[in-house]
Amino acid sequence: MFADRLSRARSVMADCGVDVMVLSVGADLPYFCGYEAMPLERLTLLVVPSDGDASLIVPFLEAPRVVERPGVFDVVSWKDGEDAIALAAGLIGSAGTVAVGDQTWAGFLVDLVAELPGARFSRASEVTAPIRSVKDAAEVEALRAAGSAVDRIAAQIQAGEIPLVGRTEAEVSAQIGRRIIEEGHHKVNFAIVASGPNAASPHHDAGDRVIRSGEAVLFDFGGTMADSNGVGYCSDITRCVHVGEPAPGFAELYEVLFASHAAGVAAATVGTPCEAVDAAARGVIEDAGYGEFFIHRTGHGIGVEAHEHPNIVVGNDLPLVAGHAFSIEPGIYVPGGWGARLEDIVVAAADAPDAMNLADHDLAVVDG
C-alpha cells in the first residue's frame, strides 16, 4: 500500500517538476509511510526523491517507534548533538525543486533554505492533495466504519439517552468524547456542544453554560479511527436536538436546513463542480431568506485529517470524481438567537452519493 502511494507521488512529482519531496509532522507522513511523528523540536523527515529510495530521518530515541518497511523507505536515525538539517540536506542533494510538507515547522524550513541556497521550494500539497483526496475502496470502508461509530453516539443523543438538562456543555462534551473512544476511535478530534444562543457560533467551545429546557443544542463531534495499517481515518457528524417542543421559528429554520442538506447531498454527483454542490445547498437557504446567516462553506474534504481537500465552496471549480470524500454541512446562525447545522460525510460514487452517516436527520425532541 505505502509503496504504491509513493509510486503515485513520484508520478505526480514528475508532472509538477518536483525533484524531491520532504514530509515532516502532519497527516502526509502516516499516509505515505505509516509512521506518525511526534510533534517535537527534533526533526523527523521523509525524504522522497523522484528517482531512488525514500529515507525516513528520525531521532535515534524515536527509532523504536518506527515500523520498518523494507522497499518503502530506509530508516536514517540521528542522535542529539548531530546536525539533522545537514543530514537532510545531504539526502536531498542538488535537487532543483523541493516540495515541502505544508505542516512542516517553519524553523525546520528556514534552516533547510539556508542549507540549500540553490533549491526552489514549493508546497508538497500540490503532490499529495490529488492523491489523498481520492479514496480507494479500503479507505471508503475505513471512513464508513468511523461514520457508523459516531452515528451510534448521535442516535443515543437523539433518543435522550445522554442527559442534557442541568449539565454544563463541557460535561456533556466530555461524555461524548469518552463515547467516541468507546466506539473504537483512538483519538477525539472535537466534541462541540453548543446550547441556546451559543449554537449561533459555528465552532463554539463547550463551556460552563448549563443546558436548559426549551432550547436547542447543537452537537458536532468526531475522532480518528485507525485502520489495519495503523493509519487513522476521521469521522465528523453534526446533529441538533431540541429540549422540549421547539418554538415555531426554530422549527421553520430547521426545515430549511433539512432541505438545504438534502439538496447538497443530491447534487454531490461525479462530474459536478464542488462550487455547484455548495450552490445547491446555499440556494435553498438563500431562497428562504436566511442567506446572510449561512456564513461558511458547505463542506470540506475528510480522510486522514478532519479537514482536507476538496473543499465544497464557491470558487472551487474542481469536478467531483469517484472517491472524493467530503462533508455536506449547511448551517444557519442567528446571532444572539439560535443556530443549527446538519452534517454528513459523503463519498462521490459512480452511481450516487454514498453517505457515511445514516443517523436520523430530523430534529429530535428530547425531554432532557
Does the pLDDT value for residue 368 go beyond 80?
no
pTM: 0.95
All domains of the chain in start order, with CATH: 2-131 (3.40.350.10), 133-366 (3.90.230.10)
Burial of 304 (0-12, 13-18, 19+ CB in 10 A): buried
Is the Cα dihedral 268, 270, 274, 279 positive or negative?
Answer: negative
Q: Is the pLDDT of residue 77 over 80?
A: yes
Report residue 227's pLDDT band, with 50, 70 and 90 as the boundaries.
confident
Answer for the pair 39, 25: CB distance below 8 angstroms, yes or no. Answer: yes
How far is residue 3's CA from residue 73's CA, in Å, rounded to a whole number? 9
Place 6 in a pLDDT band, splitting at 50, 70 and 90.
very high
Longest dimension (CA), the chain: 68
Over residues 324-357, the pLDDT tens digits come to 999 999 999 999 999 999 999 999 999 999 999 9
What pLDDT does residue 192 have?
A: 98
The C-alpha atoms of residue 267 and residue 345 are separated, in whole angstroms, by 14
292 to each of 255, 282, 289, 329, how far by Cα in Å?
A: 17, 10, 8, 16
- Angle, helices 248-267 vs 274-287, to 10°: value is 160
Give dist(CA 46, CA 145) in Å, integer. Answer: 29
Query: Would you state the pLDDT for residue 173?
Result: 98
Over the stretch 180-189, which tens digit does the pLDDT of each residue have?
A: 999 999 999 9
Measured CA to CA, the distance from residue 136 to residue 133 in angstroms comes to 10
Q: Are strands 216-226 and 237-243 parallel, antiparallel or unpaired?
A: antiparallel
Burial class (CB in 10 A: 0-12, 13-18, 19+), 179: buried
Task: Kindly tell me if the per-residue pLDDT of 229 is higher than 90.
Answer: no
Cα atoms in the Cβ-side hemisphere of radius 13 Å centred on 91? 26
DSSP 247: P
Q: Name beta bridge partners: 122.
A: 99
Q: Across the strands, what pairs with 20?
A: 49, 98
Q: Average pLDDT for residues 36-63, to the nearest whole number?
A: 95
Average pLDDT over residues 10-16: 97
Confidence (pLDDT) at 228: 80
Tell whether the model's pLDDT for residue 230 goes beyond 90. no
For the chain, helix (H) and strand (E) counts, in that order, are 9, 18
Query: What Rg do the C-alpha atoms of the chain give, in angstroms?
Result: 23
Packing angle of the helix pair 137-158, 169-182 (nearest 10 deg): 140
What are the residues facing 76 on neighbouring strands?
57
Q: What is the pLDDT, as a whole number, of residue 63?
A: 93
Residue 217 to residue 156: CA distance in whole angstroms:
14
Q: What is the distance between the alpha carbons of residues 44 and 25, in angstroms, rounded to a whole number?
A: 7
